[in-house]
Structure 1
């Protein structure tokens, strides 16, 4: 509890799932804290679950509370560059996030994953594989369960997904291994540019013993060198090999499992599998011991998820592809036998989608553009057609389908123009797939 010495007044900024987990955690601590909560939204999510005894201010900032605090704990959605937070920092009041509080308390080994794309799958897969050898594993952070809700004395290993937003306010997280998967343009509405975004990601290495990095992306290497293990699509370290016309995941050129024996969809998921194996090796789990579990893993919902395979027509839900790089990754991994009917669009977040054009030109594809920024895609392929909604697009696709075709939602955009979140968008795609496939 030495981190809490001298701290009496704590202000939590931002409620929601994460903020609520922070409040509940603070209330469990054995020290006597004064806890206040600020949320600039009038009725934020989670308010109905907040202890009525907690002082709460909504609808605006409450600077008096902030400037009286000994510690401010911010929600990841609030940038450090926010003027009110800058004023707090200028008054030498520490500002942290929930992951920093987790770092103060965790008493079991921790591995963590960041990157622009793929981190949720790697986090989930690493947890599943670790559980398959009998470990009690806490999986969460930016995926699923908030990190503070994972804290328990009987956990053998913590596996955390960490966003750049979370890393901004994290400075003392000790990691057995930190995986940095890739860097591509995202959240440019939050950062001043790619360098600013990249620096936030680099914070994952600050107290990591080993870095797991992408051989094909120099941005993933730690700026301040620490021991590294690499992954990629050649025969070095964690990679792939070809033996007798068959491709295998491999370590140092030695085959581990045939690619055709995996149930994951998409070539990018081979890289994700290699990262999980590399992370587990750093905590003493040999790759060979988890191969059986890897063979049965089908991936996360909304991430290149095969939702229907009927009459040799595949419907693939990749609603989690909320940026260009995710969609490019999904397209690069597909093995098509017929035409790809690709659904794109939503909220583009100011991104430039022109990099899709040369990729689409190499595919047997028909492009269906919908949502707020669907027009941003209309000139990327001669087949492109514009629709208001995803359902209208799918209604146009169905009469065109032939055996061997695939229908994929991989929108390269956020969903908030027409859906509550990317999960709701993916659920609607799955519903429509089942409706029209049957």
Structure 2
């Protein structure tokens, strides 16, 4: 365990996926653990801690307990400006992110992927390629299970991680063997003093601990990344990819062929059979296949993986961006717990499409998330009374609909540039649809028809 020799008491701030994962990992290795959440905390997460007999609190922070910690593991959603963080800093207690904490328990090969857009697809795509090659791996981080939870569950050959700027802000020794930097566009600037350069610096932290034995795969078409690399002393080997120009080293696109040249070894593959469409997905495929090539995966396996990867359908699936509004299909969320994860991941004001066949749902665990993240609710079902009753006081705008076309049309009118429109029903689908897949497909068709 690197850097944990004199650590006995660990406090985890934030009762979410990353917080629960960090707490479970800490307990597994014999640390005295306490979890503190200033909000309501999700009941699913609280239950997970109860099952492990881990002490926790919600609805506020007991500073006397927190300041007894030797180390604090902070949820990425908690900004450094809040009072509890200031007091911990004043007390001289080290604060790290969950990915930093988890990395101290493993010597396994880490592949970390970040970017303002596309990181979920590239993370999933990379995981798909490695699985097709028969490698032992986990895929997680900012998607799916937390890194800490995966480390706690057992060993793996490779850890493929989606990492956000918020997670990277809290690293100290986190060192991926392969780092992937997809793009950097202005995002989350409220967390970075409204200074783009601070956000850029945060993203660039992915490479800060790499050495000459490691690799940084980066988008050579992104001027922000190119300039940021020039300004920094990056020790890892730079591996560019480009849709725009031919490269002697790295990965480029020419005549619908992806060509990868590494250490005088060149492979070329047609994009004609790439199942995820669009120029941005070609770039995503290039990033994933370059990662696979660095790991010595055969060309035939990479090619077959490119043909068989279907994206991440019905699970926080980015459908389209229309008038700077992102439409997201999470139709697979047929219960409150799944929708909790979806709403938790929303980083922009969200118009939420919810409803269907209520299975006796307890919506109370969603209240704090809805209050913070949802600007308007579109009810979609034959009977929306439970939704109206549960959330009527949480948002200013709530509209009832009984068809997907109507729901999407209303969401379009309620949203504005910079928003998300999220279909995450929290209910079964069989009042208006055959199943959740049918519901998701109808959502995508309605969005495309706008």
Q: Is the shorter-chain TM-score for this pair beyond 0.5, marking a shared fold?
A: yes
| Contact 2:217–2:287 (CA under 8 A) maintained in structure 1 | yes
Q: CA separation of 1:149/1:275 partners in 2, compared to 1, >3 Å: closer, same or farther?
A: same
What displacement does 1:204 show? 0.5
Deviations 1:124-176 (A, max 9, x none): 11111011111011111001111012226651211110001111111211211
Measure the CA separation in 2 of the matches of 1:322 and 1:15: 34
Deviations 1:72-119 (A, max 9, x none): 111111122323212211221000121011210122211110000000
Which deviates more, 138-147 or 215-224? 215-224
User: Could you say which residue in structure 2 is the equivalent of 1:168?
Assistant: 169
Q: Secondary structure at the match of 2:304?
A: helix
Deviations 1:334-388 (A, max 9, x none): xxxxxxxxxxxx99659xxxxxxxxxxxxxxxxxxxx9599xxxxxxxxxxxx96
Q: Secondary structure at the match of 1:260?
A: coil
Unaligned runs of 5+ in 1: 306-316, 328-345, 351-370, 375-386, 399-408
Whether 1:240 and 2:220 are equivalent positions in the alignment is no
Measure the CA separation in 2 of the matches of 1:389 and 1:249: 47
What displacement does 1:202 show? 1.1
Q: 2:283 aligns with which of 268, 271, 277?
A: 271
| Contact 2:98–2:148 (CA under 8 A) maintained in structure 1 | yes
Measure the CA separation in 1 of the matches of 2:445 and 2:421: 21
Measure the CA separation in 1 of the matches of 2:225 and 2:400: 37
Whether 1:231 and 2:241 are equivalent positions in the alignment is yes
Q: CA separation of 1:397/1:182 partners in 2, compared to 1, >3 Å: closer, same or farther?
A: closer
Q: CA separation of 1:389/1:411 partners in 2, compared to 1, >3 Å: closer, same or farther?
A: farther
User: Could you say which residue in structure 1 is the equivalent of 2:441?
Assistant: 430
| Contact 2:325–2:421 (CA under 8 A) maintained in structure 1 | no
User: Could you say which residue in structure 2 is the equivalent of 1:216?
Assistant: 221
User: Could you say which residue in structure 2 is the equivalent of 1:133?
Assistant: 133
Q: Secondary structure at the match of 2:124?
A: helix
Whether 1:184 and 2:177 are equivalent positions in the alignment is no
Q: Which TM-score applies when normalising by structure 2?
A: 0.69
Q: Secondary structure at the match of 1:92?
A: coil
What displacement does 1:184 show? 1.2
Q: 2:259 aligns with which of 228, 250, 264?
A: 250
What displacement does 1:196 show? 1.8
User: Could you say which residue in structure 1 is the equivalent of 2:49?
Assistant: 50
User: Could you say which residue in structure 1 is the equivalent of 2:34?
Assistant: 36
Q: CA separation of 1:284/1:117 partners in 2, compared to 1, >3 Å: closer, same or farther?
A: same
User: Could you say which residue in structure 2 is the equivalent of 1:79?
Assistant: 79
Measure the CA separation in 1 of the matches of 2:25 and 2:322: 31
Q: CA separation of 1:100/1:289 partners in 2, compared to 1, >3 Å: closer, same or farther?
A: same
Deviations 1:272-317 (A, max 9, x none): 0100111122223244432112111111125996xxxxxxxxxxx6
Q: CA separation of 1:196/1:264 partners in 2, compared to 1, >3 Å: closer, same or farther?
A: same
User: Could you say which residue in structure 1 is the equivalent of 2:5?
Assistant: 5
Query: What is the 5 A alignment of 1:316-327?
Result: 318=319, 324=324
Measure the CA separation in 2 of the matches of 1:228 and 1:303: 33
User: Could you say which residue in structure 2 is the equivalent of 1:60?
Assistant: 60
Q: Which TM-score applies when normalising by structure 1?
A: 0.71
What displacement does 1:4 show? 2.1
User: Could you say which residue in structure 1 is the equivalent of 2:295?
Assistant: 283
Query: What is the 5 A alignment of 1:76-155?
Result: 76-151=76-151, 154-155=155-156
Q: 1:394 aligns with which of 390, 405, 421?
A: 405
Which deviates more, 82-91 or 120-129? 82-91
Q: Secondary structure at the match of 1:56?
A: strand
Query: What is the 5 A alignment of 1:257-406?
Result: 257-301=269-313, 318=319, 324=324, 349=349, 372=375, 394-395=405-406
What displacement does 1:55 show? 2.8
Measure the CA separation in 2 of the matches of 1:322 and 1:97: 34
RMSD value, Cα: 3.8
Which deviates more, 142-151 or 254-263? 254-263
Q: Secondary structure at the match of 1:81?
A: coil
Measure the CA separation in 1 of the matches of 2:104 and 2:347: 37
Q: CA separation of 1:23/1:277 partners in 2, compared to 1, >3 Å: closer, same or farther?
A: same
| Contact 1:323–1:413 (CA under 8 A) maintained in structure 2 | no
Count how many residue pairs are aligned between Structure 1 and Structure 2: 356
Measure the CA separation in 2 of the matches of 1:229 and 1:219: 16
